[in-house]
């Protein structure tokens, strides 16, 4: 027979559920209020940011496409991220798979060494790369920025793939070997599909870090090559209008449309490898 709760227990239960929901609402408000505020300010018709806007207009969205520094820097950021992301995932996957496949007593030391770029401030990394590239007389804008972004994003890909491999069943490789499948073919057709969530997580971290990086990139830009965060920073030095809010709103819109497109076409679960 089910035991009835006392009135005090029921009150505690309701208070507990209410507290959990209040914390959830507060967390969502903390996450989404700044985004919604930026989007609202992007429609301000005035020449200066004001809360709330006195009138609304799309003039600052037109200003984005009228200024070449925003359009050009966006494609530069996209190009650098498109170069750095696959390289970061490739190197991270190779390193993680080697450490997982052939463990040694030096594995903790090797993991610490491979994760060391995360421990250094990005400003220090950017300054060190600037000195190194100058000593090497290597002044290629996009190439030098892409190399820097591979260095700073590589640890995230490495850690994500290593975490996925830690849940991988080694008996799958043994079963493939018993069927006389070569190791490379086993890795391509068995291991990679099973660790696809780790690959996707590493690629996502790498792309976002590369596209959004400022502290390292500021040391490596050239007069003809600058990324979107640098362009936004330089614009804000001399302008206080809501153009930057409009740029941020378009980036949020692009991210939302990308997720919706993936969900409607192949499904997000299948895209990240959680469902076959």
Segment 142-186, tens digit of pLDDT: 889 999 999 999 998 998 888 888 888 888 878 888 888 888 888
For the whole prediction, is pTM greater than 0.75?
A: yes
The distance of Cα 238 from the centroid of its chain, to the nearest Å, equals 29
Torsion 86-87-88-91 (CA) sign: positive
Superfamily (CATH) of domain 68-244: MetI-like (1.10.3720.10)
Give the residue from 110, 145, 113 showing the smallest Cα distance to 126: 145
What is the band of 47 on the pLDDT scale with cuts at 50, 70, 90? confident
Model pLDDT, residue 66: 85
Model pLDDT, residue 1: 47
What is the band of 273 on the pLDDT scale with cuts at 50, 70, 90? low
Name which residue leads in pLDDT, 170 or 21: 21
pLDDT cut 90: percent of the chain above it:
14
Q: What is the mean pLDDT of residues 49-64?
A: 81
Q: What is the dihedral of CA 151, 156, 161, 162, to 10 degrees?
A: 100
Segment 57-99, tens digit of pLDDT: 888 888 888 888 888 889 999 999 999 999 999 999 999 888 8
Segment 95-150, tens digit of pLDDT: 988 888 887 788 888 888 888 888 888 899 889 998 988 888 887 788 899 999 99
pLDDT tops 80 at residue 7: no
CA distances from 124 to 58, 85, 270 (A): 40, 22, 39
Domain ranges of the chain: 68-244
């Amino acid at each position: 027979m089910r035991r009835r709760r006392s009135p005090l227990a029921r009150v505690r239960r309701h208070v507990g559920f209410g507290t959990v929901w209040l914390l959830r609402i507060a967390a969502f408000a903390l996450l989404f209020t700044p985004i919604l505020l930026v989007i609202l300010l992007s429609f301000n018709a005035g020449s200066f940011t004001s809360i709330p806007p006195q009138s609304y207009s799309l003039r600052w969205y037109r200003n984005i496409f009228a200024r070449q520094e925003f359009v050009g820097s966006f494609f530069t950021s996209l190009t650098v991220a498109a170069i750095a992301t696959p390289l970061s995932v490739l190197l991270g996957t190779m390193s993680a798979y080697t450490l997982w496949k052939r463990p040694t007593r030096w594995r903790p030391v090797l993991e610490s060494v491979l994760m060391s770029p995360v421990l250094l401030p990005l400003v220090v990394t950017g300054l060190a790369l600037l000195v190194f590239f100058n000593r090497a007389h290597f002044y290629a804008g996009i190439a030098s920025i892409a190399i820097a972004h591979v260095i700073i994003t590589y640890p995230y890909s490495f850690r994500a793939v290593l975490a996925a491999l830690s849940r991988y069943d080694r008996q799958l490789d043994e079963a493939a070997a018993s069927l006389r499948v070569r190791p490379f073919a086993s890795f391509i057709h068995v291991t990679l599909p099973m660790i696809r969530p780790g690959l996707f997580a590493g690629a996502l971290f790498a792309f976002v870090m590369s596209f959004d990086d400022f502290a390292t990139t500021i040391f490596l830009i050239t007069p003809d090559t600058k990324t979107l965060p640098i362009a936004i920073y330089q614009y804000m030095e001399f302008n206080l209008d809501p153009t930057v809010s409009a740029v941020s709103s378009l980036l949020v819109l692009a991210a939302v449309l990308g997720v919706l497109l993936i969900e409607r076409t192949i499904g997000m679960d299948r895209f990240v490898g959680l469902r076959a």
